[in-house]
Chain A
Amino acid sequence: MEPILDIKNLDVKFALRTGTVTAIDNLSLSLAKGERLGIVGESGAGKSVMGFSIINLIRKPGYIANGSIYFRGEEISRYSEEEIRAIRGNRISTIFQDPMMALNPVLTIGTQMTEAILAHMDMTQEEAERIALEKLAKVHIPAPEKRLNQYPHEFSGGMRQRIIIAISLLTDPDLIIADEPTTALDVTIQAEIMDLLIELCESEGMSLILITHDLGVVSEVTERIAVMYAGRVIETGPTEAIIKNPQHPYTQGLLKALPESRTPGEPLYQIPGMMPTLTDIPPGCAFNPRCPMRGEICITKRPEAAFADEHTGHMAACHLVSGDLAS
């Protein structure tokens, strides 16, 4: 089947005063219609930059240096501002991390919703309002008619995040990019929102890219995972395979660091060291200074992605997997 989103060899660079740094290095990903993909990694791994690069909203001084992004078969990374705006918020919606911040405090929910519809569709105010009501009902907001005239401060955090999801649904998009949609919410609401996202993807046939650092959330929601480290995808494959049988030592470390995997009373595990800053990524494998299995080759040669399981498409960029380093 033709993928809805196909990213090929994407390089995103930031032109700083001290020189250019590479925030995303040769990233390739593809996403089928209706598929839910999780992007996992520590802060600064380039997850959000990837999300923004799809809709061409990388903050300056960042730019796409290389590669292409195909959306529904069309190359969108070279689109003009005008052309990309027709896709942004229309075919591809984005959900942000903090529902407290993503709504304009001085406009009513109704205004913000109808405005988003009218920006993309040619219809009357009444029709737009009807769609807004429909979508609010879809995200289980009680009594949506009353809610349209209220301001963001009159809603709780969970309600606001649902409204943001409702806004992202307004134009029946093909793809939703959710950038840590539940980080600012507490755990019970987090589960509710995630269930809602799964439900909507399944009923509407939308694809989802879920950007998060929470492996627990990702394992519940997604079908496939891509693990990012220092701007590269270091492991990708079906969710189950990655959770049950991680290949890259970094993924293994992440899973080991989950509080669930420890016996009570013992200190939590953490991967030693820090993610390198983008200005000095170590030669060879970017993870080598922190890697417990490091060998000679890891310091000199950058590993390429290799199949761990050709059947499921489970790949990892590690010398252990490609067989260059004996475990």
Chain B
Amino acid sequence: MKQSLENFKDSYLFYSFKRDKIAMISFAILLVLVVVSFSAPLIAPYNPYDAETIDILNSELPPAWMDGGSTQFLMGTDQQGRDLLSTMIYGMRLSVLIGLGAVVLQAFIGISVGLIAGYIGGWLDNFLMRLADIQLSFATMMVAILISAIFQTVFGSSRYNELAVPLLVVVIGIAEWPQYARTVRASVLGEKGKEYVEAARVVGLSSTRIMFRHILPNTMSSVLVISTVQVANAIMSEAALSFLGLGMPVNRPSLGSLINAGFEYIFSGAWWITLFPGIFLVLLVLVINLLGDWLRDVLNPKLYKG
């Protein structure tokens, strides 16, 4: 353990990280956002899920530094009287959770399909990749809207509220797996012809073992790069769905549903309910994308910015 930490300190990855200011700042911001959101019950001043602490009389209070603002609520309150800061912290936790969950699912489906299609080839490759093409020809949003809408009508909205998180993970996961499948397949095709694969066959290893033990680790750098981009995308998709009212319900708001909820009040002057979650969402997605950018430059030195 100590040895691998030492190795990491000497590695090129860490070296280039130290030299890249944007990557360092992005990482710091991301770290703060993730730590804060995952320790929400400890940090947030109020619990937005606890109806007893919410007072409707506090609704639509402006941020503390404005006229009529209260020091109790640093960033003001939403239309139900919830502390906006607390709600945002909890909401961000949901957004990050759904984003990560969806990417894990995408990666699982996509990597398996890409690996099998690329390694085995032939009609199976054709079949799986056409499947991916078909999936890609449906816009992510369309698939997501369709599935959530059907789910809501079939199961009713109270059941839907309970299952909203896993459902969003599945919906976004299924809609985006072809990205992984294509990337992995392309890398597998490149690796398959290399001599070490031939050598592994000559040693008498089975195909499954060659696929998962020998080829898969060699495709990991591209998987890592698209994973960062995909996390950002998944968070955006979740926000967009929630904004359209098909994502997280209002009593358990994510950043997207907060923006949506505030949107109705924006012309009555309560701009903060929409603006603050919006800023947080942009910040979150931006730093993840910047980190992904840096990672791509490090792992693929042949690509230059320009």
Interface residues in chain A, defined as those with a beta carbon under 8 Å from any beta carbon in chain B: 55, 57, 85-90, 93-94, 96-98, 101-107, 115-116, 119-120, 164, 167
Contacts and interface: CB of A to CB of B under 8 A. Distances in A.
Interface residues of B, number: 18
Interface string B119-133: 000000000000000
A98 B202 contact: no
A120 B204 CA distance: 8
A104 B218 contact: yes
A12 B256 CA distance: 64
Most buried by A among B199, B203, B220: B203
Contacts of B202: 55, 57, 88-89, 93-94, 96
Interface of B: 194-196, 198-206, 209, 213-214, 217-218, 220
B196 A101 contact: yes
Contacts of A115: 203, 205, 209, 213
B281 to A, nearest CB: 36
A119 B199 contact: no
B203 A102 contact: no
Contacts of B194: 101
Contact of B205 (A55, A96, A119, A164): A119
A146 to B, nearest CB: 13
Contact of A102 (B195, B209, B218): B195
A88 B204 CA distance: 5
A52 B201 CA distance: 11
Contacts of B220: 106
25 contacts: A55-B202, A88-B201, A88-B202, A88-B204, A89-B205, A96-B195, A96-B198, A101-B194, A102-B196, A103-B199, A104-B218, A105-B196, A105-B218, A106-B217, A107-B213, A115-B203, A115-B205, A115-B209, A115-B213, A116-B203, A116-B204, A116-B205, A119-B203, A119-B209, A120-B204
Nearest to A104: B196
Most buried by B among A98, A104, A164: A104
A85 B220 CA distance: 28
Contact of A107 (B198, B203, B217): B217
A119 B204 contact: yes
B213 A85 contact: no
Given A104-B218, A106-B217, A85 B206 contact: yes
A212 B103 CA distance: 50
A104 B196 CA distance: 5
B195 A90 contact: no
A164 B195 CA distance: 12
A325 B285 CA distance: 83
A86 B204 CA distance: 7
Contact of B195 (A86, A88, A89, A101): A101
A97 B214 CA distance: 20
A89 B200 CA distance: 9
Most buried by A among B194, B202, B209, B214: B202
A93 B220 CA distance: 30
A103 B195 CA distance: 8
Contacts of A98: 195
A228 B135 CA distance: 52
Contacts of B196: 101-105
A97 B198 CA distance: 12
A43 to B, nearest CB: 17
Contacts of A55: 202
Contacts of A105: 196, 218
A60 B187 CA distance: 21
B205 A90 contact: no
Most buried by A among B199, B205, B217: B199
A213 B214 CA distance: 31
Nearest to A164: B199
